[in-house]
Amino acid sequence: MTENGRSSVWFHEVPSAEVVEYATNVCDVAILPLGSTENHGPHCPSASDSLNAIGMSELIAKKSGATVLPSPMYGSHPYHHWGVKGTIPLRFETHIALIEDVVRGAAVAGFNKFILLSAHGQVASTIVAVHKLGIEGHFVLSLHWYDFLRDNQDVLEDPMWHADESETSVALYLYPELVDMSKAEPGTATSLIDPKWKIAPGMAPKPGQMYHFEGTFALPERLEESSGSIGDPTKATREKGEILVTRLVDHVSLLVTEIMDQYPVGVRPQTN
């Protein structure tokens, strides 16, 4: 048995009656880990984003008492990811509908507060899903882990991009057996405008900058002569990954605690 007398933090690993009883009497916060299946360079598995979200969510649930919903393993992708070998993107409409249906189904089991924890750039669908679900009366928060890197520049040498120092460090901490650092190599991407106009993932914005998903800023990756990495994964270490993951887990666990303090089990925050 784990903490709070439950056999697992995972929704799908316990009998439904146990899930319902826990959500009804102990904690009704559910975390949905969202990632992707995509080219993640020659050194990391194609499921890296999903595995990052899964690993982080599990640690958060163990610390906070939340329950983790099964990860769908596929995600929506910005335009420049499409057509890349090793990447399996969902259409925005498909991903939005998937998130909506998962939340609706979990709500039937007694969960009243939801956190979407994404380790992949898919705000184009998660934000829409959050607001559509809010109209229906569901309380849903959408967090993208790389946004927390704004507060972790003391750990990283470079801004976060893709299959790079930050993501590879997290992989080395959460699932090192699937990472082959002997194949890690730096890679670049071609920006269609001066980079000064856009905010890199995890970086604090400067006046007038656009969020990195607010425009068609990048040359499609299928046209790049690149290994699949954007940034330098050779700078990654397990130690950096442990710091990044631990800080994120502490941060989101505090959020869960505050939500439960303000809205005790059985209480759904009013959104409609």
Per-residue pLDDT tens digits for 72-81: 999 999 999 9
Which of 86, 56, 64, 60 is closest to 74 using CA atoms? Answer: 86
* Selection from 136, 113, 43, 89 nearest residue 258 by Cα: 113
Strand partners, 76: 90
Question: What confidence category does residue 82 fall into, taking pLDDT thresholds of 50, 70 and 90?
Answer: very high
Is the predicted pLDDT of residue 4 greater than 70, yes or no?
no
pLDDT classification of 2: cutoffs 50, 70, 90: low
Ranges assigned E (strand) in the chain = 29-34, 67-68, 113-118, 139-144, 198-199, 210-211
Taking CA atoms, 207 is separated from 198, 199, 204, 211, 212, in Å, by 10, 10, 10, 11, 14
> How do the domains of the chain map onto residue ranges?
3-262
- pLDDT of the residue at 6: 86
Point out the least confidently predicted range of 35-39, 224-228, 252-256, 263-267: 224-228
Residues recorded for the chain: 272
Mean pLDDT of 108-120: 97
pLDDT at 3: 57
Under CATH, domain 3-262 is a member of which superfamily? Creatininase (3.40.50.10310)
- CA dist 225 and 19 (Å) reads 48
Is the CB of residue 234 less than 8 Å from the CB of residue 227? no
Q: Is the pLDDT of residue 98 over 80?
A: yes
Span 106-120, mean pLDDT? 97
Contact at 8 Å (CB) between 66 and 115?
yes
DSSP code of residue 176: G
Average pLDDT over the chain, rounded to whole? 94
Rg (CA), the chain: 19
Region 207-229 average pLDDT = 89
Residue 58's alpha-carbon distances to 165, 170, 185, in angstroms, are: 22, 14, 30
pTM tops 0.85, yes or no: yes
Nearest-angstrom CA–CA distance, 110 and 24 = 6
pLDDT of 44 higher than 50: yes
Q: Is the pLDDT of residue 33 over 90?
A: yes
